[in-house]
Amino acid sequence: MTNLVTKATELVYQMDNDQLNQLIEAVKLKRTHLSRQAVQDFLVGDVVSFTQRDGTQRSGRITKINRKYIIVKESATGTQWRVPGTMLTKLGVGA
């Protein structure tokens, strides 16, 4: 995998502005595809966890599923979080 990233990085340095814009569009499309795929693994009521940017671990129950993001309600505080499906880990299946 590292070899693939190294090759891609070398190719990026050789690209002009138009080629970079095409690459950026391809990366955005791939991320959208991965996000939508990840969301399909979850159901409303599932208990999930995720790690915030500061390293804090949060957990809660899924209340709503959108195309790319999932709404998670933290049980302890009642706070709702809008989290990408790729950042969630399923802890249990809800009702």
Share of the chain above pLDDT 70, in %: 97
Domain spans of the chain? 1-95
The model's pLDDT over 27-40, given as tens digits with 9 standing for 90+, comes to 999 988 988 888 88
Coil, helix or strand at residue 46 = coil
Looking at domain 1-95, its CATH architecture is Roll (2.30)
Contacts of residue 88, defined as CB under 8 A and 6 or more positions apart, other chains included, come to: 38, 42, 48, 49, 50, 70, 72
pLDDT at residue 67, as a whole number:
87
Confidence of residue 50 (pLDDT cuts 50, 70, 90): very high
Angle at 38 between CA 37 and CA 40, to 5 degrees: 70
Which H/E stretch holds residue 10?
Answer: helix 2-14
pLDDT band at 95 (very low <50, low <70, confident <90, very high): low
Tokens coding 77: 């505080």
Six-digit token string for 82: 């809008």
Q: Which residues of 4-29 are buried (b: 16+ CB within 10 A; e: fewer)?
A: eeeeeeeeeeeeeeeeeeeeeeeeee
